[in-house]
Amino acid sequence: MHELVSNETFFRTMFQSFRNHHPRQYPAPRNESTHYQIFRERLTDVITNNLQSSPTFTVGINKFSDWTPYELEVLRGNRPPSSTARTKRISMNSFGTQQTSASSKRTNAPTSTTFDYTTQVSALNSNTHIIGPVRDQGQCGSCYTFVIIALFEAQHAFHYGLPVNMSDLQIVDCSTHDYASIGGYFDTSFDYVKSYDWYIDINLIYPYKDCSGRTTSSCPVEPNSANTTMTTFKSYTGGIFQTSGCTTSANNNNHAMVIVGYGYGSVKKLAYWKLRNS
């Protein structure tokens, strides 16, 4: 282990391989040196974590592995509850106007030790999955809108039995009490959609553009969520993620994801939540 992490040739080779896989254009040699040192530190962390005797999760190199703390901060678009946030639970019982048939109504929460919404289909249509495919928020702080849209898509599958890809960009552009591509709130995003009678354009008509900013000219006129802080998680590749020093303050949470299931790992004997990231 010590020989590996002190081998400069190894790190240079890995950095070149990383750049071949994730093309980079650094503006100056100084910038390249900075990003190389960041990559080197993160690769060292990856090796250290994965060589533990019995880690509960694995980490790896990904497109964020040379990003500076400032560049990573841009992705963290979840903000603490707004000053006007309701203390009661946000209800979506009035979602849509079509009557829900008895066969599509959900029962109480499942009582098994494992449940995964990503494998569930609508009671009205076995071809419709409750949770759609993972999407990439790109280099924007728009994680909050990806969570909101995932929840509405799940509600649509429950109520109507039809798959739909709703527009993430609509909330970025049109929810004026949020901060577009640099962050936003759950409650104000819900309020925006509710104010338009739960209407959201489909992604085909209103496609997502990476860090497009707010363009209100395109706005129409008419599962649960989770917050976290991004630390070692930025390199996560699989397993039951654990870390020490997690905050309990909502003001320190800066990234939003969707809870899509839960379970119990029999090998590590740990209970876990399953999350959909963006």
Domains of the chain: which residue ranges? 2-67, 102-276
Scanning the structure block, which residue is given the tokens 């090796």?
A: 47
Report which of 47, 53, 59, 58 is spatially closest to residue 4, judged by C-alpha positions: 47
Q: Please give the CATH number for the structural domain made up of 2-67.
A: 1.10.287.2250
Helix, strand or coil, per DSSP, at residue 83? coil
Which fold does the domain 102-276 belong to in CATH? Answer: Cathepsin B; Chain A (3.90.70)
Dihedral sign computed on CA atoms, order 76, 270, 258, 128: positive
Report which of 4, 78, 102 is spatially closest to residue 48, judged by C-alpha positions: 4
Instruction: Tell me the whole-structure pTM to 2 decimals.
Output: 0.60
pLDDT band at 175 (very low <50, low <70, confident <90, very high): confident
pLDDT tens, residue by residue, 202-254: 888 888 876 655 555 556 543 555 655 555 677 788 888 877 666 665 556 66
pLDDT tens, residue by residue, 56-102: 888 899 988 998 887 777 665 454 555 554 433 344 444 444 434 33
Q: With DSSP H G I counted as helix, E B as strand and the rest as coil, what are the percentages for the chain, rounded to 5?
A: 35, 15, 50
pLDDT (mean) for 128-157 = 87
Which H or E run contains 226?
strand 224-228
